[in-house]
């Protein structure tokens, strides 16, 4: 039988369907296919049926044209479907695949669409959207892999850098083929990022590309790619790196320092030591911090010691200010963790803090150096952190937060509470005027994250806080003693209650306090913005009436000019799924269609949460 004839009939039927069935009667193209169909029908009856259906279209009445055309199209489609092939001849071979590390995600369309737009357009606000998507794990969606890779060429460098440093490493080796395919050594924007990313994912496989980028014979290589390649060199290229560390171009020197800071070799130490004493001190110190090589940290600590000795001898305020500023920078570049040289210099600075406080500069003084050292002690080794924690009563309000942060890394949660809770309950904090007791109280409140209340859950990162990861790292340690929450309720401190409650573990006293705070604010509020804090806490602590309270508060904004409603949409997904019907009852009352849609989307997000 001739399948080709059936394909022709299908094409003509599709053409007539597009043009309109009113012109199907007498159509000469379809009419000339009827004889071959009738001829084939002598051997295969199904062709005879197709011929009859084609005749009905061509010769039938105009009022039945649409019906007859549909009958023909359906019949031909059904026949062709049965004739399709589901395989190919030849030996089966495994399909080449690349493992996408980690778990996959299915991003909802309402999140996917704006994210795709952010990755393919320009304008403000895109970086925040990309960061939030990364924090929520949305980039595990396969549909975002290629847009994220294309984002390496984004005109806004911060977006491209964030994708290169935070997002694309999630894909592991799966990203390499696309990176290699688009890599252009002559490129000046995304290609240096591609080279560095390929090297991070596959150092051995990228070694040849790095060599090519530095080969003088390849004159088409851009300066930006060459600088990136220099920063990727290793111990076998030590002599070349030492040479590059002495060139005039600052970006080339910076790349050489970056590579040298990762090499534990006396030659590298000598170069960094010399540069640390000169105009490149800032860049070198930052690379030593990133490199985390103990021998280089010793060089940084030695430079600090000599700098402090020189500072203590200065009398001129301008010179003292410049020296103090440089020392603050060096202290900030001491790597966190256990480094004996860093620990020793920090303890020395802590012991000499009174001596340093006597040195006055124009913009920076010796006290700034001491305070920066105390801040660094909280992130140093446990032994150094313990020294700071034990000295909490002696450091004053300025550095009490550092002592508290250090204590949370060392003793038990119960011991931390026993030692620092008195700062919150000190009656002197209530006195008016200059009040060191109140300053200390505020320092502890701040370290407990109780100074502010937001509409997002404390268990999720703040999409607007670029330093959220750093803040979390600074507060590493076991969960706080449960007595902190009891104390927060007793103090009637909404911010502390919000920060200290444990999601999923109801605290009846905290819930009752939050409800009372909401009821009081709701009764007095002239604008619903005034109930934002108590309502947020009511939702976060899981009060049974939180959904009804949110609905009542939102209803008061309906029809009001300049009403801020965006924060409600962030709160809704943190309610229990059972709250959906209470909220859905509000939708018919919303007058603005766009606002109603946004409210409904938030409810849908609530329903879909795990």
Alpha-carbon span 183 to 167, nearest angstrom:
18
Q: Which of 3-7, 338-342, 471-475, 543-547 has the lowest mean pLDDT?
A: 471-475
Average pLDDT, the chain: 90
Q: Kindly compute the dihedral angle of the four CA atoms of residues 154, 207, 335, 275, in this order, to the nearest 10 degrees.
A: -100
Sorting pLDDT into bands at 50, 70 and 90, what band is 102?
A: low
Q: What is the mean pLDDT of residues 419-437?
A: 92
Rg of the chain on CA atoms, in Å: 35
Q: What is the pLDDT of residue 459?
A: 47
Query: Which spans in 27-64 are helix H?
Result: 28-31, 34-41, 45-59
For residue range 274-298, list pLDDT tens digits in order: 999 999 999 999 999 999 999 999 9
For residue range 522-544, list pLDDT tens digits in order: 999 999 999 999 999 999 999 99
Between residues 577 and 98, the one the model is more confident about: 577
The answer for residues whose C-beta is within 8 angstroms of residue 27's C-beta and 6 or more apart is 12, 16, 57, 58
Q: What is the pLDDT of residue 477?
A: 62
Alpha-carbon span 471 to 133, nearest angstrom:
19
Q: What pTM was computed for the model? A: 0.72
Alpha-carbon span 436 to 428, nearest angstrom:
9
For residue range 222-249, list pLDDT tens digits in order: 999 999 999 999 999 999 999 999 999 9
Sorting pLDDT into bands at 50, 70 and 90, what band is 466?
A: very low
Alpha-carbon span 526 to 518, nearest angstrom:
14
Q: CB under 8 Å, gap of 24 or more: what pairs does 17-22 form?
A: 17/69, 17/73, 21/65, 21/66, 21/68, 21/69, 22/62, 22/65
* Confidence check: pLDDT of 467 > 80: no
Alpha-carbon span 5 to 510, nearest angstrom:
78
Q: Are 164 and 126 in contact (CB under 8 A)?
A: no
Total Cβ atoms within 10 A of residue 171: 25
Alpha-carbon span 64 to 239, nearest angstrom:
88
CA nearest to 507, candidates 540, 459, 545: 540
CA nearest to 56, candidates 84, 78, 87, 34: 34
CA nearest to 369, candidates 397, 333, 330, 315: 330
For residue range 137-149, list pLDDT tens digits in order: 889 888 899 999 9
Q: What percent of the chain has pLDDT over 70?
A: 94
For residue range 150-201, list pLDDT tens digits in order: 999 999 999 999 999 999 999 988 899 999 999 999 998 899 999 999 999 9
Q: What is the pLDDT of residue 473?
A: 38
Beta-ladder partners of 337: 380
CA nearest to 273, candidates 260, 292, 255, 254: 260
Q: Are 603 and 110 in contact (CB under 8 A)?
A: no
Total Cβ atoms within 10 A of residue 499: 23
Alpha-carbon span 506 to 463, nearest angstrom:
26
For residue range 580-603, list pLDDT tens digits in order: 999 999 999 998 888 999 999 999
Sign for the pseudo-dihedral over CA of 22, 23, 28, 32: negative
For residue range 48-101, list pLDDT tens digits in order: 999 999 999 988 888 888 898 999 999 998 888 887 666 777 888 876 666 666
Q: Are 296 and 288 in contact (CB under 8 A)?
A: yes
DSSP result, 542-593: T-TTHHHHHHHHHHTTTT-TT---HHHHHHGGGS-GGGHHHHHTTGGG---H
* Confidence check: pLDDT of 471 > 50: no
């Amino acid at each position: 039988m001739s399948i080709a004839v059936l394909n022709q009939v299908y094409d003509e039927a599709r053409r007539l369907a597009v043009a309109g069935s009113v012109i199907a009667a007498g159509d000469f193209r379809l009419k000339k296919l009827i004889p071959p169909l009738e001829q084939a029908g002598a051997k295969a009856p199904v062709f005879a049926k197709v011929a009859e259906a084609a005749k009905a279209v061509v010769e039938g009445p105009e009022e039945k044209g649409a019906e007859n055309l549909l009958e023909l199209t359906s019949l031909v489609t059904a026949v062709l479907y049965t004739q399709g092939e589901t395989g190919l001849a030849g030996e089966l071979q495994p399909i080449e695949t690349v493992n996408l590390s980690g778990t996959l995600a299915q991003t909802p369309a309402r999140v996917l669409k704006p994210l795709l737009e952010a990755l393919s357009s320009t304008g403000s606000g895109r970086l925040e959207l990309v960061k939030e998507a990364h924090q929520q794990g949305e980039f595990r969606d396969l549909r975002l892999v290629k847009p994220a890779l294309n984002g390496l060429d984004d005109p806004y460098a911060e977006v491209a850098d964030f994708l290169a440093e935070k997002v694309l490493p999630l894909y592991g080796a799966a990203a390499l083929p696309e990176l290699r395919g688009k890599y252009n050594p002559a490129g000046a924007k995304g290609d240096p990022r591609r080279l560095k990313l390929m090297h991070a994912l596959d150092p051995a496989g990228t070694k040849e590309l790095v060599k090519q980028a530095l080969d003088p014979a390849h004159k088409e290589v851009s300066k930006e790619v060459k600088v990136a390649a220099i920063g990727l060199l290793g111990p076998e290229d030590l002599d070349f790196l030492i040479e590059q560390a002495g060139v005039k171009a600052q970006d080339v020197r910076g790349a050489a320092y970056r590579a040298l800071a990762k090499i534990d070799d006396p030659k590298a130490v000598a170069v960094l030591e010399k540069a640390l004493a000169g105009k490149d001190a800032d860049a070198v110190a930052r690379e030593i911090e990133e490199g985390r090589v103990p021998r280089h940290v010793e060089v940084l600590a030695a430079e600090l010691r000599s700098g402090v000795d020189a500072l203590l001898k200065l009398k001129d305020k301008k010179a003292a200010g410049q020296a103090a500023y440089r020392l603050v920078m060096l202290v900030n570049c001491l790597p966190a963790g256990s480094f004996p040289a860093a620990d020793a210099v920090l303890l020395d600075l802590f012991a000499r803090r009174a001596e340093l406080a006597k040195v006055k500069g124009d913009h920076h003084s010796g006290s700034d150096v001491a305070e920066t050292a105390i801040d660094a002690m909280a992130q140093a080794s446990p032994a150094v952190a313990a020294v700071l924690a034990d000295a909490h009563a002696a450091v004053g309000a300025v550095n009490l937060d550092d002592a508290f942060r250090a204590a949370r890394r060392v003793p038990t949660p119960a011991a931390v509470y026993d030692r620092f809770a008195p700062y919150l309950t000190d009656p002197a904090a209530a006195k008016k005027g200059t009040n060191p007791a109140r300053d200390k109280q505020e320092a502890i409140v701040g370290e407990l994250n109780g100074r502010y209340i937001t509409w997002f859950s404390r268990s999720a990162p703040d999409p607007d806080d670029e330093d959220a990861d750093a803040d979390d790292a600074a507060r590493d340690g076991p969960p706080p003693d449960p007595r902190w929450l009891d104390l927060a309720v007793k103090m009637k401190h909404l911010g502390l209650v919000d920060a200290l409650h444990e999601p999923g573990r109801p605290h009846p006293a905290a819930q009752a306090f939050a409800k009372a705070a909401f009821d009081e604010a709701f009764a007095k509020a002239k604008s619903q913005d005034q109930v934002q804090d108590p309502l947020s806490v009511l939702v976060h602590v899981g009060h049974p009436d939180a959904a009804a309270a949110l609905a009542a508060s939102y209803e008061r904004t309906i029809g009001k000019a300049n009403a801020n409603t965006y924060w409600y949409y962030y709160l809704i997904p943190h309610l229990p799924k059972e709250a959906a019907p209470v909220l859905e009852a509000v939708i018919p009352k919303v007058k603005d269609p766009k606002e109603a849609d946004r409210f409904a989307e938030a409810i849908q997000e609530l329903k879909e949460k795990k």
